[in-house]
Structure 1
């Protein structure tokens, strides 16, 4: 690499295969790009060509054409001259980013966030996902007015300090809003799950996020479960309903779709949801994923490390990037709170190396000397 002011896509990827109709794509090695300057870049034909080639490279990952670079982003605050909180400061070659710090809607997003988001999505071609630890019908989609009505009633009737009663009343109000009659496992329960699935997907489209990352960690510190979405069977039904609108089943002709990813405790879900999930994100923190243990195509599995704890040393991220299944190739590599890597020198030190290794081992596995072709 050539420091902060010269991004070499060729060197970052160590592949040499940028999809482009031009014959001089190798020239990108020496193109200047002020990486830490944010989205106020060289607005000229040279930068336009660079970004067109970058977007073309991102398209190679569609339909598992190559492993992706993934990460959970935890401190999105694009304001001021300090660039740590800007999505535009991430390595250009990040393919998919899950918004751990929140995915605001069009009414709550700030102008700075909107500009940062749109540049990364539209100019750099990076996919940004909403992520939620799902645990009940309506989570993240129930209007605040449903709850404020309960709080107002509690104040007026003098039971606002009875927290258990307030929470029960809020739950009942939420169930009523989603049309759930309280009978777990009934046809009515499935109907409510279907309504919630549609709401999740409609909101993604309305707010222009590129997919949904379901954090499935039932039984590991999830305290807000109400029984409506706390079993594998319930999640399977929800995800299949979501595939009517987003996800791989919504796109049988492979024209492009918003992604569905699942991370967390997904081992018991892979068989039932095989073909309904774009990527399974293994929280393989501190260890090397055994891709062959999942019983599914390893191209759909992303292995990750925990950069909340190991961003200074890189943990096992580089070893994960170099790992491969016994046959085929993995879906990608990434890290939780990978934006902490910005504080290393150079910024995103470990993630940049992981991106290089990730593509290098893929190329070696495939025996390629030219660009990868989608299967």
Structure 2
């Protein structure tokens, strides 16, 4: 009976359908929840049990209990009855989602976004991450007032149209705000990065996001570098400082913490940051990740496809979902701009299949371990 319950629950969670009562666990219903404008309107004992089971399923991924379903969400616009832009329209069994469209603060989030976000986090148990192409000290946390003061001065003194001078003045104002004196790789530089690390984490807490996804693509044409966060050494120091507040090292007893993920060019970072990062996200994009090539436990690696270009065909997503390392199991599978998959028939066609395959190969591996 226990195995039947587990199998049925897994089937329910991966397809987004409602399960029946315990006495009917072997005969799952195929009645979908009714959505209006992206929100679930069914409020009864059956739906409450479904969501409780769904949250328990999400919890089973904590501490690498199973592979996760991951994605970067690119068009968050929950408004009206067309559901494409709703987080609530994602497959229920999405575990972790990076907000590529932005992670607004509590001061500028719309009522529709707030309701959509809270339903997905609190009712469905999905973790939502802020994600940034991190490339300089203060990115995403420098108050606009710092730049506005420079612009005001530039207009007053007549050099507002001098783009080079204005950009340099804004940079120096930003450095001053974070306490950086311009001496690179000094103790002062570290102090400024430490201040930035705390601000990153404090903001996540204040705005109720579930972690931070660092998009690390230094050397690939990132245009806003200023030398303050442009080397592996800088990032290593920053991430270790962040672990004072969020990430694995902030939670030695594994009671639960906000996540730290790194995607992009991370091969040289896995060893020095081993134990400081929850998931390493491989932008495999059109290929199959060779998990054995990384000097890190494969269960911390998520392999991803690019649905900016291959959402119609699914690209290599299903093969990535089926792939496994030679030892153990992978961290999960996902896609960049996976919300484009909503436009397929049925919606999220490829992602739903990938979630099923992702868990199927894990369960097969797990079954072999008990023999």
TM-score range normalised by the length of the shorter chain: over 0.9
State the partner residue of 1:34. Answer: 33
State the partner residue of 2:132. Answer: 132
State the partner residue of 2:146. Answer: 146
Q: Distance in 2 between matches of 1:251 and 1:329?
A: 23
Conserved? CA contact 2:35–2:41, under 8 Å:
no
Q: Distance in 1 between matches of 2:52 and 2:11?
A: 17
Conserved? CA contact 1:78–1:112, under 8 Å:
yes
Q: Distance in 1 between matches of 2:14 and 2:110?
A: 36
Q: Distance in 1 between matches of 2:135 and 2:161?
A: 25
Secondary structure of 1:130 counterpart:
strand
Residues 151-205 of structure 1: per-residue CA shift (max 9 Å, x gap): 0000000000100000000000000000000000000000000000000000000
| Mapping 1:155-174, distance limit 5 Å | 155-174=155-174
Conserved? CA contact 2:321–2:354, under 8 Å:
yes
Alpha-carbon spacing, 1:158–1:27, altered in 2? closer, same or farther (3 Å): farther
TM-score, structure 1 as length reference: 0.92
CA displacement at 1:36 relative to structure 2? 4.7
State the partner residue of 2:300. Answer: 300
Alpha-carbon spacing, 1:25–1:369, altered in 2? closer, same or farther (3 Å): farther
Conserved? CA contact 2:14–2:352, under 8 Å:
no
Conserved? CA contact 1:146–1:174, under 8 Å:
yes
Which consecutive residues of structure 1, in runs of 5 or more, have no partner in the other structure? 1-7, 16-21, 371-375
Conserved? CA contact 2:304–2:336, under 8 Å:
yes
State the partner residue of 1:279. Answer: 279
Conserved? CA contact 2:135–2:229, under 8 Å:
yes
State the partner residue of 1:49. Answer: 49
Q: Distance in 2 between matches of 1:94 and 1:250?
A: 25
Whose RCO is larger (CA < 8 A, sep 6+)?
A: 1
CA displacement at 1:30 relative to structure 2? 1.4
**How many residue pairs get matched?**
357
Conserved? CA contact 1:14–1:359, under 8 Å:
no
CA displacement at 1:31 relative to structure 2? 6.4
Conserved? CA contact 1:14–1:360, under 8 Å:
no
1:214 counterpart = 2:214? yes
Q: Distance in 1 between matches of 2:24 and 2:255?
A: 26
CA displacement at 1:28 relative to structure 2? 8.3
Conserved? CA contact 1:212–1:259, under 8 Å:
yes
Secondary structure of 1:69 counterpart:
strand
Alpha-carbon spacing, 1:146–1:27, altered in 2? closer, same or farther (3 Å): farther
Secondary structure of 1:367 counterpart:
helix
Q: Distance in 1 between matches of 2:86 and 2:33?
A: 14
State the partner residue of 2:5. Answer: none
Conserved? CA contact 2:261–2:277, under 8 Å:
yes
TM-score, structure 2 as length reference: 0.93
Alpha-carbon spacing, 1:31–1:253, altered in 2? closer, same or farther (3 Å): farther
Alpha-carbon spacing, 1:342–1:28, altered in 2? closer, same or farther (3 Å): farther
Q: Distance in 1 between matches of 2:222 and 2:14?
A: 41
Secondary structure of 1:71 counterpart:
strand
Q: Distance in 2 between matches of 1:35 and 1:54?
A: 17
Q: Distance in 2 between matches of 1:304 and 1:346?
A: 21
Which consecutive residues of structure 2, in runs of 5 or more, have no partner in the other structure? 1-7, 16-20
Q: Distance in 2 between matches of 1:12 and 1:156?
A: 64
State the partner residue of 1:184. Answer: 184
Q: Distance in 1 between matches of 2:302 and 2:9?
A: 22
Q: Distance in 2 between matches of 1:282 and 1:195?
A: 29
CA displacement at 1:33 relative to structure 2? 3.6
State the partner residue of 1:248. Answer: 248
State the partner residue of 1:317. Answer: 317
Q: Distance in 2 between matches of 1:203 and 1:14?
A: 32
Alpha-carbon spacing, 1:280–1:244, altered in 2? closer, same or farther (3 Å): same
Residues 87-138 of structure 1: per-residue CA shift (max 9 Å, x gap): 0000000000000000000000000000000000000000000000000010
CA displacement at 1:29 relative to structure 2? 2.7
